Structures are given as C-alpha cells and as structure tokens.
Amino acid sequence: MNEKAKHKGEMVTEELKSKLACITESNYKKFIPKKQKKKIIVNELVRRRIKILMNVLTIFSIIGCILFIIYGLRTGIFTSEVALKEFLMPFGVWAPVVFIVFQAIQVVFPILPGGIGLLGGVLLFGPVGGFILNYIGICLGSIAAFAIAKQCGHKVIQLFFSKKMQDKYMKWIASKKFDTLFTIAIFAPVAPDDFLCYLAGTTKMTYLKFTSIILLGKPLAIAIYTFGLDWSFNQFIEWFV
C-alpha cells in the first residue's frame, strides 16, 4: 500500500514538473496580475530609456573631451603655465571646486570612463594638484553613490549598469567575505569602483566602514592613474606635438 502511494506521489510530482517546464519565459507574464504586469513593463521602459540617455551622454561627453584636448594642444594650456592660468582665471578660486564637483558627479553618474576625469585633473592642475582634487572628488562621489544605493537598493544598479557587470559581481553579496573582497577591489587600480560602491550600498556595510575603506584604499589607485597618465600624456606631447 505504501509502495503504491509512493509511486502515485512520484507520478504527480513528475506531472507537475512537466507542466511547470511548459511555462516559458515568453508566456510567464500571463500568470502575473495586470497591475503588477504593468509595473514590470513600465520599469523596463524606464530602465531602457535611462540606458539610452546615458549612452548618448557618454558619446557627447567623449566627443567634448576630444575637442577640449585638441583645443588645449592648440592654445598651449597643457604645456604653458601662463596659458593655463589665463584659461582658469575666469573661474577664479572656484576652479578646483568645480572640478571636485565634476569628479563626484562622474562617480554617481558613470557616463565617462574614470581615466578621462583623472587625466583632466592632471592637465588642469598638474600631477600633485590633480591627484589631490581627484582624490577628494572621487571619495565624495563614492560616498554619495553608497548613500543612494542604501536608499534605493538594487533598482539603481539595474538602471546604471549592464547585466553582464551585475552577473559578474552580484555573487559577492552572498559571500561572507564581501567586505574583504570589496576592500581588495578598492585598493586595486583595475576594479569597477563606481559599480562596487553602489553594490556595497545594498549590503549591511556601515557608513563608517565604507568611508574608512574608501579614504584608505583610493589614494593608491588614484596615484597610479594620475602619475601614469601624466607620464603618458607628456610622452604623447613629445612624440606627436
């Protein structure tokens, strides 16, 4: 009797599995209530529109950076201190503040590759000045990104970053060693820091711990990029200008 009941139960289980297997990704929305379905569609539309907008802004920003470099080479602001001072004079004492705000915004809204902002700091304020301003701006932007993720959760990550990036690092959240992995990544100069700052905001990491990691971990990576870009650009000037 028990064997018959067990066999019958297995048959029912297999039947349920086969029925569930028939529910494909294309028709699963039939089983979602209309209100919830509408919300999913709207969210997807918003995500796509924001992604398109960010891609357009990225293209225009890169074009703008290229034009600025051409302008700088023609006017000599990258090679002459006098020309550079004349260029920055209209901004007065606000020039460093404007650049810090730009760097912070660039972290919160990752439109440009991070190296472009770092190079801008070097070209406008020199290696040492550029390093200090880059450090301040990036740290402020990182803390802001962390705070936004604390409030908005995974939604903001889905809006700003590709699925490929998410799939690669989301598994870190499930690991008990997330804090350690995050710290190592921040110290490393090749990690996607913008994304990781948002990702850290979705965890239980405290503001104090996050800020400490950023303040201690960022200088090395920024210094490598800043002085490396300064050397590379000087070589470019010598070879091609």
Task: Answer yes or no: is pLDDT of 162 > 60.
Answer: yes
Maximal CA-CA distance, the chain: 98
8 A C-beta contact, residue 141 and residue 105: yes
- What's the pLDDT at 201? 92
Confidence at residue 205, expressed as pLDDT on a 0 to 100 scale: 92
User: Distance between CA atoms of 122 and 132, rounded to whole angstroms?
Assistant: 10
pLDDT tens readout for residues 64-101? 878 887 887 788 776 677 777 777 778 888 889 989 99
Q: Which residue bears the tokens 């405290």?
A: 206
Phi-psi region of 3 (alpha: psi -120 to 50; beta: other; left: phi over 0): alpha
- Give the model's pLDDT for residue 169: 85
- pLDDT tens for residues 11-31? 545 555 555 445 444 443 444
Question: DSSP letters of 97-140?
Answer: HHHHHHHHHHHHS--S-HHHHHHHHHHHHHHHHHHHHHHHHHHH
Instruction: Tell me whether residue 48 is exposed, middle or buried, using C-beta atoms within 10 angstroms of its C-beta: 0 to 12, 13 to 18, 19 or more.
Output: exposed
pLDDT of residue 137 exceeding 60, the answer is: yes
pLDDT in the model for residue 128: 87
Helical segments of the chain, H only:
2-21, 34-75, 81-88, 94-108, 114-152, 154-160, 163-169, 171-174, 178-187, 193-201, 207-240
Mean pLDDT of the chain: 77
pLDDT in tens, 173-222: 877 888 999 999 998 877 788 889 999 999 999 999 999 999 999 998 88
Q: What is the mean pLDDT of residues 149-171?
A: 84
Query: Region 224-237: what's the mean pLDDT?
Result: 78
pLDDT of residue 38: 45
CA distance 15 to 13: 5
Q: Is the pLDDT of residue 140 over 90?
A: yes
User: Which tokens belong to 120?
Assistant: 């801008």
Question: Where are the chain's structural domains?
Answer: 92-240
Cα(219)–Cα(199) distance, integer angstroms? 21
User: Could you tell me which residue, 211 or 54, shows the higher pLDDT?
Assistant: 211
Q: What is the DSSP letter of 28?
A: G
How far the first Cα of the chain sits from its last, in Å, is: 91
Quote the pLDDT of residue 32.
41
pLDDT over 70 for what percent of the chain? Answer: 78
Q: Are 193 and 185 in contact (CB under 8 A)?
A: yes
Q: What is the pLDDT of residue 100?
A: 92
In angstroms, the Cα distances linking 151 to 40, 120, 146, 148 are 20, 31, 9, 5
Q: Give the rounded percent of residues in the chain with a pLDDT score beyond 90.
A: 20
Cβ atoms within 10 A of the Cβ of 155, count? 14
Amino acid at 166: Q
pTM strictly above 0.85: no
Which among 46, 52, 53 is positioned nearest to 156, based on CA atoms? 46
| pLDDT value for 144 | 95
